A = this chain, B = another copy of it.
Amino acid sequence: MLSERRLEVLRAIVQDYVGTEEPVGSKALTERHRLGVSPATVRNDMAALEEEGFIAQPHTSAGRIPTDKGYRLFVDRLAGVKPLSTPERRAIQSFLDSAVDLDDVVSRTVRLLAQLTRQVAVVQYPSLTRSTVRHVELLLLSPTRVMLVVITDTGRVEQRMVDCPAPVGEIALADLRARLNSRVVGHRFTDVPQLVQDLHESFEQGDRGTVSTVVATLLETLVEETEERLMIGGTANLTRFGHDFPLVIRPVLEALEEQVVLLKLLGEAKDSAVTVRIGHENAHEGLNSTSVVAVGYGSGDEAVGKLGVVGPTRMDYPGTMGAVRAVARYVGQILAES
């Protein structure tokens, strides 16, 4: 067990190192923090902390640097989440309020997060897996060409062209439209497949091909729509990684271009609380020297998406967590309103 003071020393080390980006020694520590003990005592504490693996020295006779484990302890037990100032909150709100559509909300959120945290921001588009169908529309563009439009309860609209195997008339189409709607309206995307499974059976032989094609396209559209997309920004902040950054930055950039990796990363975050993954806690190798701070956002109690930032393990955790949490809240509000 670590004594109270040793934890205090660890906290001081983390804070100083985050600020100066340089290994911190016992003397400097006692000068910058009111620990009430001498450097020699701090040295003993440091030795103990190193023994436990919370800090390390780059080389003998250099100051100490927090390890991933040290940051973990710091985040879990020593640091709170630093709330944003009132002006900051106001700025966030007004910036997000002026968004005109979903794309705009997401892109503004990314820029906001990047600017607030001075790190790389990642925002997942709101997931539609829980969306329901509000209306399905079919338009006859030519005898064998139908446009399929799906409207969701979130106000999102998707459309697709359908080439029919045989000419189709307005009347048959109206019939299909009506039956389709009566079956799927109000239901979740995920339930649609079984709801329309045997729809073609209730049609005449001649129209079955068309019905099947339309239904298939509808299912395709819904599946594709629930695919998760995301937006990133603030990559210029990667230059803040530190001196050795040429080596670090490449795998990070590569990881950032792999949407799959990022989605997995965000997916690991809990919905409700800010989740922090530090250094090697990240499964992806290229991100071993970065930390990911993420949280879910949503209009109600359920998260409809996640957002977060990627930065050096040496980051201001309380501030970053505060910013991420605040942005997630406001995004949730905005989405609930629209």
Binding site for B on A (CB under 8 A): 134-135, 137, 139, 141, 147, 149, 151, 155, 157, 159, 161, 233-236, 238-239, 245-246, 249-250, 253-254, 256-257
In contact, B253 and A239 (Cβ under 8 angstroms) = yes
Told that A139-B149, A157-B159, A238-B253 touch, could you supply 7 new A-B pairs with CB distance under 8 A? A135-B139, A135-B141, A137-B147, A147-B157, A236-B254, A236-B257, A246-B246
The 4 closest A-B pairs by CB, nearest first: A236-B253, A157-B159, A239-B250, A236-B254
User: Which of B149, B157, B257 sits near A234, CB closer than 8 Å?
Assistant: B257
Residue of B at shortest CB range from A235? B253
CB closest chain-B residue, reference A220: B100
Task: Give which listed residue, B149, B161, B233, B235, contacts A149 with CB less than 8 A.
Answer: B149
Is the beta-carbon distance between B239 and A249 smaller than 8 angstroms?
A: yes
Q: Which residues of B contact A155 (CB under 8 A)?
A: 161
Q: Complex: how many Å from CA A236 to CA B249?
A: 8
* A233 nearest CB neighbor, chain B only: B257
Give the distance to chain B from A138, nearest Cβ to Cβ, in Å. 10
Query: Does A139 contact B141, Cβ atoms closer than 8 Å?
Result: no
In whole angstroms, what is the CA distance A257 to B239 when docked?
14
Given A236-B253, A246-B245, A254-B236, decide whether A147 and B151 contact each other with a Cβ distance below 8 A: yes
Expressed in whole angstroms, the minimum distance between the Cβ of A158 and any Cβ of chain B is 9
Bound together, the chains give a CA A239 to CA B254 distance in angstroms of: 11
A57 to B161 alpha-carbon distance, docked (Å): 61
Q: Is B257's CB under 8 angstroms from A246's CB? A: no
A247 to chain B, nearest CB (A): 9
The CA of A256 and the CA of B238, in the complex, are separated in Å by: 13
Cβ of A235: which chain B residues have Cβ within 8 Å of it?
235, 253, 256-257
Please, which residues of chain B bring their CB within 8 A of the CB of A254?
Answer: 236
The 10 sampled A-B contact pairs (Cβ below 8 Å) are A137-B147, A141-B151, A147-B151, A149-B149, A149-B159, A157-B159, A233-B257, A235-B257, A236-B254, A239-B249
Closest to A100 in B: B224
Nearest B residue to A249, CB-CB: B239
